[in-house]
Amino acid sequence: MRLILSFLFALLLTACAGPQVRGTGDLGLVIERASGQVTLVDTSTRQPYARIGGLGDLSHASAVYSRDGRYAFVFGRDGGLTKIDMLEARIVKRVMQSGNAIGGSISQDGKIVVAQNYTPGGIKAFDAATLELLSEVPAEYAPGKFSKVVGLADSSGNKFAYALFEGGEIRVTDFSNPKQPTTQRFPAGLQPYDGLVTPDGRYFLAGLFGEDGVAMLDLWQLEKGARKILENYGRGQEKLPVFKMPHLRGWSVAQGKAYLPAIGRHEVLVVDVATWKEVGRIPVRGQPVFVMARPDGRQVWVNFAFPDNGKIDVIDTLAGKVVHAFEPGKGILHMEFTPRGENVWLSARDDNKVLIYDTTTFTRVGEIAADNPSGIFFTTRAARIGF
C-alpha cells in the first residue's frame, strides 16, 4: 500500500511539473521558403525540435523576436505576419497585413511590431501582444505616388528608420504615440535598395542602387539631414550586372571599420566608422549579398548573388583579406552565427540542407534537413538594435 501511494505521489509530482522548463537563448528558426514552413532549431544540440507549417509564401521571409526571446514574428512575402511561440512550438496568431511585404522590425520597448510593405507601399504598426493594427504610414512620396519601402530598422525611442525605393528618401517614423505616429523625411539619393542601423543605433545607412554611394542619416542629429558617403566608389567604371540585390541588415562593424557590399562590383568596401571614409576594398569572388561579422568581429563572412551563390569567402579583419574560400553547398542564401560565434549556420537552398560550420577550423560540424531553406534567425537577435 505504501509503495502504491508513493508511486501515485510520484505520478502526481510529474504531472504538476508540467512541461520541461527551459530558456530560449539558444533557439532559432529556419525559413523553408517554398513550403510555407519554419523549422525550429536548438543551437546547443544542433538539432531541429519542431516544424510549423501554414505560414504562406515565405520567399524572402524574415523574423524578429520579442525581447524575452519567446516569440518570433515572421514576415512573409505575401503580407502574412505570424507570431510563433518558440517554446510551445505553435502559431499564436497570424494576420494578413498587406499584399506584398518585405520584412519588419520590433520596437525598443518590444511592444510594437512594424511591417514594411511593397504593396501598398508603406509601413504598418501592430501591437506585439495581439497583432492588432495600431497605425499605418503610407509611403506617399508625391501626390498619389507610393513607394516600396526598404531597409526598415528600429532605433531608440520607438523610432523606425527606412528608405523609399522609388521615392529616393529616408524616413524616420516615431511611434512613441503608436496610434498617432509622426514622420520626418530626408532626401537620400537614387533608388535606395536596403538599409541598416549601426549596432549603437546612431546611424541609418541606405545603400543606393541608382548611383554609386550610400546615404547616411545621423539619428542623433536629424536636423543635419542625410548625406552621401562612399560617393563614386565605382570610379565611373561600368557596373557588373547584379543578379541579386545585396542585403544590408546583418551587416558588419568590426574594429572600428564597417564592411559593406559594393553594388555591381565584386568587392567588399571597408569604411572607417569615425570618418565614414573608405579605407579599403577587398576583392571577393562574386557580387556580395550578405557581409556579416562574426559576433567578435574577427571574421566577416560573405555570400554571393547568382551565379556564385554556392561560394563563401571569409575575411580575416586583422589581415584585411580573404583567408578562407570554399563552396559549402548549392544556393547559399543566408548565414547566422551562434550567439558567441563559434559556429555559423548556412542555408543551402538547392541542397535542402542547413550546414553548420566551426568558424575556427572551418570544418562542418553538423547539418539539418530543410526544404529549400532561406533565412536563419536565432533568438539572440532579440537583444540587438537593428535586428
Residues at the site binding another protein, with contacts judged by CB under 8 A: 33-34, 57, 59-60, 77-78, 100, 102, 118-119, 148, 150, 165, 191, 193, 209-210, 241-245, 306-307, 331, 349-350
Q: How far is the CB of 330 from another protein (least distance, A)?
A: 11
Nearer of residues 193 and 203 to another protein, judged by Cβ = 193
Residue 365 phi/psi, 5° resolution?
-110, 0
Q: How far is the CB of 307 from another protein (least distance, A)?
A: 7
Query: What cell was used for 289?
Result: 549579398
Nearer of residues 209 and 259 to another protein, judged by Cβ = 209
Instruction: Answer whether 288's CB lies under 8 Å from 268's CB.
Output: yes
Nearer of residues 57 and 136 to another protein, judged by Cβ = 57
Q: How far is the CB of 148 from another protein (least distance, A)?
A: 7
155 closest CA partner among 211, 219, 218? 219
Nearer of residues 61 and 273 to another protein, judged by Cβ = 61
Nearer of residues 225 and 307 to another protein, judged by Cβ = 307
DSSP secondary structure code for residue 309 in this structure: T
3-state secondary structure string across 62-95: EEEECCCCCEEEEECCCCEEEEEECCCCEEEEEE
Q: How far is the CB of 249 from another protein (least distance, A)?
A: 15
Residue carrying C-alpha cell 538547392: 350
Phi-psi domain of 254 (left: phi exceeds 0; alpha: psi -120 through 50; beta: other): beta
Q: How far is the CB of 69 from another protein (least distance, A)?
A: 29
**β-bridge pairing 288-293 and 133-138:** unpaired
Nearer of residues 19 and 236 to another protein, judged by Cβ = 236
Q: How far is the CB of 364 from another protein (least distance, A)?
A: 24
Nearer of residues 36 and 69 to another protein, judged by Cβ = 36
What is the C-alpha to C-alpha distance for residues 283 and 70, in angstroms, rounded to an integer?
40
Nearer of residues 116 and 359 to another protein, judged by Cβ = 116
Q: How far is the CB of 150 from another protein (least distance, A)?
A: 8
Residue 5 phi/psi, 5° resolution?
-60, -45
Instruction: Answer whether 309's CB lies under 8 Å from 332's CB.
Output: yes
157 closest CA partner among 199, 103, 102, 220? 220
Nearer of residues 60 and 257 to another protein, judged by Cβ = 60
Q: How far is the CB of 74 from another protein (least distance, A)?
A: 16
Rounded-to-5 percentages of helix, strand, coil across the chain:
5, 50, 45
The half-sphere exposure of 266 on its side-chain side, counting CA atoms within 13 A, is: 16
Nearer of residues 242 and 356 to another protein, judged by Cβ = 242
**Cα 46 to Cα 42, 343, 365, 368, distances in angstroms:** 6, 10, 9, 8
Q: How far is the CB of 99 from another protein (least distance, A)?
A: 8
User: What torsion, rounded to 10 degrees, do the Cα atoms 320, 323, 328, 333 define?
Assistant: 0
69 closest CA partner among 102, 23, 35, 134? 23
Query: What cell was used for 188?
Result: 537620400
Instruction: Answer whether 29's CB lies under 8 Å from 84's CB.
Output: yes
Q: How far is the CB of 33 from another protein (least distance, A)?
A: 7
